[in-house]
Structure 1
Amino acid sequence: MSETERLVIRPLQDEDYENWLHEFESRSPSQHRHDPGKMDMSECTLEWFERLVARHQELALNDKVYVFGVFRKEDGTHLGMIDIATLAREPFQWASFGYTIHNQHWKKGYGKEAVSQVLRIAAESLKFHRLEAHINLDNLSSIKLAESVGLEFECIRKGFIYEHEEWTDHLVYFKNLF
């Protein structure tokens, strides 16, 4: 667990289910192409969520992916998620990461605060040297957030990720942590 002035950042726990579900169900309609907006959560039962939490724990134990919930400190509201995926360990200590804040909580600085703290976690606790964010060319909000926490533009990877039923180009932003 890690804390900032306003946030608690930690792996999900079984007892987070109702809070997690409520915030997903409270999402506003989609604001742009990369925002899923309201989502069908009908399959997300308590049992489903418990399996998700167990899977996250297994991935972290195997140093594959670390998934963190972002919670508001004052009332415990689930604000979003950040994940760090190990790309290579020795000799690189290299990972990619992604971030999402529920759209009903946008424009309050939570994303910047959470990502800044996860960069510290990645360096200090997880011992990653390089973190990359892979961002859609037209995701201006994500680009702005990456730049605001000190990530630098490196390149465009052509046909990098399969999404929206096609291979899409992505911007690569990176930060060397130490």
Structure 2
Amino acid sequence: MEFEYLAEETERLMIRPLQKSDYQQWLNGFCGRLESQSPYDEGRLDMSICTKGWYEQLVEKHHQFIKKDEIYIFGIFRKADGIHVGNLDIVTLSRSHFQWAECGYTIHNQFWRNGYAFEALTAMLKIADKRLKYHRIEAHVNIGNQPSAKLLEKAGFKYECTREKFIFENGEWADHLVYAKTLNNLPPLNI
């Protein structure tokens, strides 16, 4: 597996960069989504353009992002059956003196309320800390998305501020809550 050093196992999940061989499990995860379950859930998605060739190009693009230390996109797979339950990402905001990143997470809605988001987020924090050596990681949450805010707090993130008109969503600029977590206190590498 390419980028094996970025893989992390939990009791029930495998967190790792997507591979070309994951196509069918990845597609099944998306195709199994239910209708929208909340204002922050896209629900069912049109996956008609997501051919195997399209997916392989997507994986190649993800791998290029990793090689450039720009974005790390991880699939979340159940260990018991290999089912794709969602994705995580880590975006480098700044290295140098900061070692700073932003993270995001999505669990397919048919797998909600199983504790997968917390389990996967906790594993991703280990990767961000031990393997990628980030010092600070933050997450941005739509101001009304209380389940996501509670998840971050449970994972040890602290609320820092509200960024007004931060992101363009659904035809308007939306406020977002900013949560952050300090990972390690090691001095930055290569500065």
TM range (shorter): over 0.9
Q: 1:73 aligns with which of 61, 74, 79?
A: 79
Please, which of 134, 151, 176 is the counterpart of residue 128 of structure 1?
Answer: 134
Q: For 1:120 and 1:41, locate their aligned partners in 2 and report how far apart those are by CA, in whole Å.
A: 32
- 2:64 equivalent to 1:58: yes
| Partner Cα separation in structure 2 for residue 37 and residue 135 of structure 1 | 18
The one of 5, 13, 17 equivalent to 2:11 is 5
Aligned partner of residue 150 in structure 1, secondary structure: coil
1:168 positional shift: 1.1
The list of structure 1 runs, each at least 4 consecutive aligned residues, that deviate by more than 4 angstroms after superposition, is none
Query: What aligned pairs does 1:16-165 form with structure 2 within 5 A after superposition?
Result: 16-165=22-171
Identity of aligned residues (%): 53
The 3-state SS of whatever aligns with 1:135 is strand
Q: Aligned equivalents of 2:64 and 2:169: distance in 1?
A: 26
- Classify the secondary structure of the residue corresponding to 2:161: strand
1:33 Cα deviation after fit:
1.2
- How many residues align? The count is 178
The secondary structure found in structure 1 opposite 2:101 is strand
Unaligned runs of 5+ in 2: 1-6, 185-191
Residues of 2 paired with 1:65 and 1:88: CA distance? 12
Query: For the residues of structure 1 that align with 2:172 and 2:58, how far apart are their CA atoms?
Result: 27
Q: Matched residues in 2 for 1:111 and 1:105: separation?
A: 9
TM-score (norm 2): 0.92
The amino acid that maps onto 2:125 is L
Give 1:141 deviation, angstroms.
1.4
Distance in 2 (alpha carbons) for counterparts of 1:138 and 1:55: 32
Counterpart position of 2:173? 167
Q: Which runs of 5+ in 1 are unaligned?
A: none
Distance 2:39 2:46 in 1: 17
2:183 alignment counterpart: 177
* CA drift at 1:176: 0.3
RMSD after superposition? 0.6
Measure the CA separation in 2 of the matches of 1:51 and 1:122.
Answer: 25
Please give the secondary structure, in 2, of the residue aligned with 1:117.
helix
Amino acid at match of 1:174: A
TM-score, normalised with respect to structure 1: 0.98
Q: How far apart are the structure 1 equivalents of 2:130 and 2:29? A: 30
- Give the Å deviation of 1:34: 0.9
Question: CA shift at 1:14, angstroms?
Answer: 0.7
